[in-house]
Structure 1
Amino acid sequence: MRSIMIVLITGTSSGIGLSAAVQAAEAGHQVVATMRDTSRADALRAASPDIDVRQLDVTDGDSITAAIDGVIRDYGRLDAVVNNAGAGHIGTVETDSVDNFRKVMETNFFGVVQVTKAAMPHLRAARGRLITVTSVGGVVGQPFNEAYCAAKFAVEGMMESLAPVAAQHGVTVTVVEPGAVASEFVANVGVDVETVFEAAGPYAPQLKAYVGRTSTSFSGAQTPDEAAATIMEALTAEQPPFRVQTSDWARQFNGVKLADLDGSAVQKLTSGWIS
């Protein structure tokens, strides 16, 4: 890889995406930091004024094409893409809507598909890197996360299948799997929790237990900067792994699933969150 890379990152208005953009810029790379609403770029610009902030909505194919074409027009190449944009969601299939499932898939899965599809010709030309932030929820299915985990499982399956094909053309594919990252869990999911409890019907007691447990785990989580450091390692390592976790907790948690041939260990673990 070149010592100075042209790096496009999605979902950079906050959290891991913001931290990854700042760290990549501080390392000397030309960062094109994208977000759906560029009016939310103040924190990013304050942290690193040299970052090139552009609009990109991962659910809008025209927006994706315009952003990537603009990078090629202005910089001549694209060396790396970090698929980071995504959104959380809680609910269970009986009481949730099919439309909500579709919306979650549109952002978290099809958004990744569209950005990757548009970027691949340029990554092939640069023999570049495709890094996708998934989640431990892309490995371990979790209560009240059916839609979210389905999307993240799909991303992991797509990238695991793409990796050997892309490698034949010089493109390295990596998935980065964070666990809990310090944030306000309920706010990040974007729901009014009392409304969700009321809509949960017979599942309300289990949902309350899950939200209580998860909110507590998020309060002691790693920082966005710590998670973004793992992205930087994947961006700059000579031979990055396909799958990498951002913390010891994430490694241990995913390890339960990867060694669980009959699924009983995961069921025992996650059932304890809602009982």
Structure 2
Amino acid sequence: MSSKVVLITGTSSGIGLAAAVAAAEAGWRTVATLRNPGRADALRKAAAEAGVELDIRQLDVTDETSVATAIEGVTADYGRLDAVINNAGAGHLGTLENEAVADVRQVMEVNFFGVLNVSKAAFPHLRASGGRLITVSSVGGVVGQPFNEAYCAAKFAVEGYMESLAPVAASVGVTVSVVEPGGVATEFVSNIGLDLEAEIAAAGVYAPALLTYIHGAVPRLSTGAQTAAEAAESVVEALTADRPVFRIQTSQWARDFTGTKLADRDGSAVLALTGGWIA
């Protein structure tokens, strides 16, 4: 296992950081990438505390040149690439009438096209090694959620793309999986940079529903939130299992929540559930 190489995106905090440390603990040569190398202190500290070595490199998933440079550097240095974990992503809160289409495009750029940029650049190397392509999605990639339209759309796109790619990839020896966390106690939400008071003030006719969502649904969704390390266990499961399944939820809550949608043939159960969040 020590000769196997995994590249992980978005490792400055949260699940990405925890997954990088856990992968190294599992014996993988771990290339931990992040958009801003100046934010690597927490990653270095976690690696030192765990007694593992990480190869920390710069990679901006929205910049094809940055992606190509990182992938080419890894394969030049190690001679192989056995797995990629697409973890980099960004949250977003907003609704159709009140946000610019350009903002939605940016959400797609990071959460969907960023995944494609990295996956496409890495795929020839994964094909050569019979490797694995793992993408951290979300329960929001299965169940659409109020005021998360753009974020859920991006995650739906990721899941649809990877589900469609999986059998094609398998035909050339590459395993594709998606990992779906539920509530995770990370910096992800705070990194949205949301000015909640300003958002509510600008919400207009949607202010009552937004307030209900923020003060009602969000706390319920956060109940029993996992730690990043707990969620990362499922990522490493996809990395190390002999035969990983395609879709992996990181908790029983996530399995129950996504199960509502996956067993809901006409969509009524999902809309009854999420409609209750803003009623």
TM tier, smaller: over 0.9
**Matched-pair identity in %:** 67
Distance, in Å, in 1 between the alignment partners of 2:185 and 2:238 is: 21
Q: Tell me whether 1:25 sits opposite 2:24 in the alignment.
A: yes
Between stretches 180-189 and 112-121, larger displacement belongs to: 180-189
Name the SS for the 1:48 alignment partner: helix
Q: How does 1:88-107 map to 2 (within 5 A)?
A: 88-107=91-110
- Conserved? CA contact 2:14–2:187, under 8 Å: no
Q: What does residue 156 of structure 2 align with?
A: 153
In 1, distance between residues paired with 2:112 and 2:188? 21
Say yes or no: does 1:268 pair with 2:267.
no
Q: Contact 1:186/1:193 (CA < 8 Å) preserved in 2?
A: no
Amino acid aligned to 1:225? A
Say if 2:2 and 2:29, in contact at 8 Å, map to a contact too. no
What does residue 171 of structure 1 align with?
174
Structure 1 window deviating more from structure 2 (43-52 vs 180-189): it is 180-189
After superposition, give the CA deviation of every residue in 1:240-272 in whole Å (9 maximum; x if it has no partner): 000010000000000000111111000010011
Moved more, 212-221 or 15-24: 212-221
Aligned equivalents of 2:220, 2:164: Cα separation in 1: 35
**Residue number in structure 2 paired with 1:121:** 124
3-state DSSP of counterpart to 1:94: helix
2:4 — aligned with what?
5
Residues in 1 aligned to 2:15 and 2:254: alpha-carbon distance in whole angstroms: 15
Query: What letter matches 1:35 in structure 2?
Result: L
Shift of 1:60: 0.3
Equivalent residue for 2:229, pick from 225, 232, 235: 225
- The runs of 5 or more residues in structure 1 that have no matched partner are none
Q: Decide whether the 8 Å contact of 1:186 with 1:215 is kept in 2.
A: no
1:12/1:34 contact within 8 Å kept: yes
Equivalent position of 1:251 in the other structure: 255
Q: CA deviation at 1:142?
A: 0.5
Q: Which residue of 2 aligns with 1:52?
A: 55
Cα displacement (A) at 1:219: 5.5
1:87 Cα deviation after fit: 0.5
Deviation, 1:186, is: 4.5
SS at match of 2:185: coil
Equivalent of 1:242 in 238, 246, 259: 246
Does 235-244 or 184-193 show the bigger shift? 184-193
TM-score normalised by length of structure 2: 0.95
Q: Which amino acid aligns with 1:274?
A: I
**Aligned equivalents of 2:228, 2:130: Cα separation in 1:** 28
Structure 2: 5+ residue stretches without partners: none
Tell me which residue corresponds to 1:138.
141
- 2:184/2:227 contact within 8 Å kept: yes
CA contact (8 A) 1:184 1:218 kept: no
Distance 1:220 1:194 in 2: 26
CA RMSD, 1 decimal: 1.2
CA contact (8 A) 2:83 2:132 kept: yes
Instruction: String of CA shifts for 1:193-221, please: whole Å, max 9, x gaps.
Output: 11111121110111111112214532630
CA distance in 2 between counterparts of 1:258 and 1:216 reads: 21
1:214 counterpart = 2:218: yes
